[in-house]
């Protein structure tokens, strides 16, 4: 739960500007979009002018319907002093990607729930115990407006649902989160619709790619770690539209005795992205940070200059220390 101090910081920030730019991280997910859109609605309810920005790309199936709501460039530079900048679901300007605002000097307020975030200084609400940025935005919405609107309830429930794996990642200490979810349902959010939006709409080729990735999977450390990958050939054949790495992780994490999963994707001849997931105790954000990335204890990512073959031994070396 956010504190009274968080709420007063937020009030002070929105009172100090007449207009706001709202931006999340690049390759937005449901939570990123939800926290941006609900914040946008709240600010407009307060009579503020808003600009929603995203560097994209909108790769995830469930995010595509929202792409048209976001601009890729801030074009009101002559009035820049009127604007405050909200960054949600990430904590730094380098995570927002190739946006022209990255070079501009804005008064900035950060709303985030990532463990690797730097929580020092004012003008930020960073709560690593929050299951979603949308959960923080919901609390702000309710503090400012009394209750959420139907549109905000729907999008916030979508954000909370995507980041919590439709509540599967939550533990027994999450009563407050379920109470917040209950308030969203009472305002019109629909769990069945949301689940279908999150998990449906996948392409046939995304299932074929899943097959490839399951086939590439290898087990290490007595099956505690599974590493799989996607080559550029796999991407060319099956991965062009609508990947479903969530389904891949869900499948592999179901293996008995497994503690962590690594999924490497060769993006270009010399660039890889790495996805990390863990089930319980293993903190994959510490491994991700060795490769220039970060994230949560149980879900992290990195992007680095590498080829798959050479990267696997390096990843094994880091896991050796913690498994």
Give residues in contact with Mn ion (CB under 5 A).
31, 89, 133, 163
Q: How far is the CB of 34 from Mn ion (least distance, A)?
A: 9
Q: Taking CA 201 as the corner, what is the angle to CA 195 and CA 207, rounded to the nearest 5 degrees? A: 110
Taking the least distance from each CB to Mn ion, the nearer of 48 and 60 is 60
Q: Which runs of E-coded beta strand occur in 24-100?
A: 49-53, 83-88
Residue of minimal CB distance from Mn ion? 31
* Residue 115, number of CB atoms within 10 A of its CB: 18
Torsion from C-alpha of 170, 215, 301, 269, nearest 10 degrees: -170
> Which CB sits closer to Mn ion, 67 or 318?
67
CB of 262 to Mn ion, least distance (A): 20
Residue 27 vs 163, nearer CB to Mn ion: 163
In the complex with Mn ion, which residue's Cβ is closer, 152 or 217?
A: 152
Listed in sequence order, the residues at least 6 apart from 157 whose beta carbon sits closer than 8 Å to its beta carbon are 181, 184, 185, 189, 190, 191, 194
Distance between CA atoms of residues 291 and 55, nearest Å: 23
The least CB distance from residue 200 to Mn ion, in Å, is 21
From the CB of 114, what's the least distance to Mn ion, in Å?
Answer: 7
Q: Which residues pair with 19 in a beta bridge?
A: 49, 83
User: 58 vs 229, which CB is nearer to Mn ion?
Assistant: 58
Give CA angle at 322 (320, 323), nearest 5°: 70
Question: Which H or E element spans position 251?
Answer: helix 245-253
CB of 296 to Mn ion, least distance (A): 9
Choose between 169 and 195: whose C-beta lies nearer to Mn ion.
169
Question: Considering the complex, what minimum distance in angstroms separates the CB of residue 294 from Mn ion?
Answer: 13
Query: How far is it between the farthest Cα atoms of the chain?
Result: 60
């Amino acid at each position: 739960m956010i504190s009274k101090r968080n709420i007063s910081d937020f009030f002070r920030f929105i009172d100090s500007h007449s207009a706001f730019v709202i931006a999340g991280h690049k390759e937005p997910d449901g939570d990123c979009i939800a926290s941006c859109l609900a914040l946008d609605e709240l600010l407009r309810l307060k009579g503020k002018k808003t600009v929603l920005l995203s560097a994209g790309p909108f790769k995830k199936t469930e995010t595509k319907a929202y792409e048209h709501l976001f601009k890729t460039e801030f074009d009101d530079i002559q009035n820049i002093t009127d604007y405050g900048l909200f960054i949600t679901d990430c904590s730094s300007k380098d995570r927002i990607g190739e946006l022209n605002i990255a070079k501009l000097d804005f008064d900035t307020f950060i709303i985030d729930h990532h463990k690797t975030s730097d929580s020092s200084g004012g003008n930020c609400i960073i709560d690593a115990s929050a299951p979603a940025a949308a959960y923080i935005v919901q609390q702000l919405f309710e503090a400012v407006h009394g209750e959420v609107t139907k549109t905000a309830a729907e999008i916030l429930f979508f954000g909370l649902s995507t980041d919590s794996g439709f509540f599967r990642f939550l533990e027994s200490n999450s009563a407050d989160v379920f109470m917040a979810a209950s308030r969203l349902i009472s305002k019109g959010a629909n769990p069945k619709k949301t689940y279908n939006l999150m998990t449906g709409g996948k392409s046939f080729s995304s299932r074929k790619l899943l097959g490839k990735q399951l086939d590439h999977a290898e087990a290490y450390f007595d099956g505690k770690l599974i590493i799989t990958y996607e080559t550029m050939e796999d991407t060319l054949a099956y991965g062009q539209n609508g990947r479903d790495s969530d389904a891949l992780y869900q499948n592999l994490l179901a293996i008995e005795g497994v503690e962590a999963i690594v999924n490497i994707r060769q993006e270009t001849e010399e660039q890889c992205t790495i996805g990390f997931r863990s089930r319980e105790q293993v903190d994959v954000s510490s491994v991700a940070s060795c490769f220039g990335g970060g994230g949560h204890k149980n879900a992290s990512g990195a992007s680095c200059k590498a080829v798959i073959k050479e990267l696997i031994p390096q990843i094994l070396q880091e896991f050796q220390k913690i498994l």
